[in-house]
Amino acid sequence: PLVTSKEMFRKAYEGGYAIGAFNVNNMEIIQGITEAAKDLSAPLILQVSAGARKYANHTYLMKLVEAAVIETGLPICLHLDHGDSFELCKSCIDGGFTSVMIDASSKPMAENIAVTKQVVEYAHDHGVVVEAELGTLAGIEDDVKVSAEDSSYTRPEEVEEFVTKSGCDSLAIAIGTSHGAYKFKPGTKPQLRFDILEEVSRRLPGFPIVLHGASSVPQEFVAKINQFGGNMPGAIGVPEDQLRQAARMAVCKINIDSDLRLAMTASIREHLAEHPDHFDPRQYLKPGREAIKAMVAHKLVDVLGCDHKA
């Protein structure tokens, strides 16, 4: 069955690794991720954004994820990514999700606490866990309307009050990551603020921390996209050794979406360029799904360290 992330996070914290939280939007993405996790016996979080729910519809995604549970036998947590209101969170809880994120990080602290608390009360009554966020991620991607100047690192001195008053089960913090495929200015050296993470975990011993915007934007995918008709100059992600370090620390959940998109798009572009006569979607979606599977397997083993932990 679907599970919450409670046990996953407890074991990950103690074991010095992190669970991968992968965004899902269609069948091939779900299959690619879950086939890798099955081969490697990895616990898994599949997450659905408001946009994913709008694209694919709640019931389709729910049933596809239920199918993945049947096919893999894995403990899978189904999570709402970046819920922006109590109503959206309630709708996902009522619809069978086992975890929700309420993201009121752009609101003043008191407002963030209030809406998070409201979601926590409803969620806990229904056996569902809640992720909240403090601090704002930088982002230069189109629909994430946070410019680098507006972004602010999480203030460690606020986390105890926030967690105690809101009752959230895990906390997303801002330590220099951002959403999308353009995370750092080309030529600058990407560096996460491990000092902030250390201070947060010192104040919240044993409490699971979440890292958003944690794609590494593998350069082989970017190169392939650009080679086969794409145009993504200067796409840069978080170095994998820094993610590995975060996973060894209090970070128990690492969010990955952009790398899935890049893996699939690079593979489909290459396939269509090399087979201009192909027009059966299965011909290019199959390698797309394989590319996702290979990328996820690498993350589970070499970045998250969560293989053989299911």
- 81 forms beta bridges with 49
Can 81 be counted among the known catalytic residues? yes
- What is the chain's alpha carbon radius of gyration, rounded to the nearest angstrom? 19
**Whether 232 contacts 181, CB under 8 Å:** yes
Q: Please list every residue from 118 through 177 that binds ligand G3H, using CB under 6 A.
A: none
Least separation in angstroms between residue 246's CB and Zn ion is 15
**What DSSP character marks residue 302?**
I
The answer to the question of whether 199 is labelled as a binding residue is no
Tell me whether residue 82 is annotated as binding.
yes
CA separation (Å) from 275 to 225, 269, 287, 294?
16, 10, 12, 22
Rounded distance between C-alpha atoms, residue 94 and residue 295, angstroms: 33
Could you tell me which stretch among 116-124, 161-169, 251-259, 281-289 binds ligand 13P (CB under 6 A)?
251-259
Q: How far is the CB of 105 from ligand 13P (least distance, A)?
A: 12
- Tell me whether residue 23 or residue 267 sits nearer to Zn ion (CB atom): 23
226 binding ligand G3H? (CB under 6 A): no
Output the six-digit token pair for 167.
């009752």
Task: Dig out the tokens for 292 from the structure.
Answer: 């996702």
Structure tokens at 239: 């170095």
Separation of alpha carbons 165 and 114, rounded Å:
8
Site for ligand 13P in 168-207 (CB under 6 A): 179-180
Q: Out of 39, 81, 302, 307, pick the active-site residue.
A: 81
CA 233 – CA 277 distance, rounded (Å): 28
Least CB distance to ligand G3H at residue 82 (A)? 5
Closer residue to ligand 13P, CB minimum distance, 103 or 307: 103
173 within 8 A of 154, measured Cβ to Cβ:
yes
Q: Minimum distance between the CB of residue 178 and ligand 13P, rounded to whole angstroms?
A: 7
CA distance 174 to 291: 29
Q: What distance lies between CA 181 and its chain's CA centroid?
A: 14
Binding mask 36-75 for Na ion (x = CB under 5 A): ----------------------------------------
Q: Which two tokens stand for residue 134?
A: 């403090």
Structure tokens at 286: 């199959």
In this structure, the chain runs to a length of 310
Binding residues for Na ion restricted to 8-27, rule: CB under 5 A: 18
Nearest of 48, 3, 45 to residue 26 by alpha carbon: 48
Give the residue ranges of DSSP H helices in 21-57.
27-40, 50-56
User: From the CB of 137, what's the least distance to Zn ion, in Å?
Assistant: 7
Position 212 contacts Zn ion (CB under 5 A): yes
Closest residue by Cα to residue 44 from 30, 34, 29, 53: 34
Mark 46-85 with x for binding to ligand G3H (rule: CB under 6 A) and - for no binding: ---x-xx----------------------------xx---
- Distance (Å, rounded) from C-alpha 134 to C-alpha 159? 8
- Which partner from the list Zn ion, ligand 13P, ligand G3H, none does 154 bind, CB cut-off 5 to 8 Å by kind? none
Stretch near ligand 13P under the rule CB under 6 A, chosen from 159-167, 200-208, 212-220, 223-231: 212-220
Closest separation between CB of residue 173 and Zn ion, Å? 12
Q: Which residues are annotated as a binding site for Zn(2+)?
A: 82, 103, 133, 179, 212
Catalytic center residues: 81
Could you list the residues that contact ligand 13P (CB under 6 A)?
A: 23, 81-82, 179-180, 212-215, 255-259
Q: Which residues are annotated as a binding site?
A: 82, 103, 133, 179, 212
Could you list the residues that contact Zn ion (CB under 5 A)?
A: 212
Could you list the residues that contact Na ion (CB under 5 A)?
A: 18, 251
Could you list the residues that contact ligand G3H (CB under 6 A)?
A: 23, 49, 51-52, 81-82, 179, 257
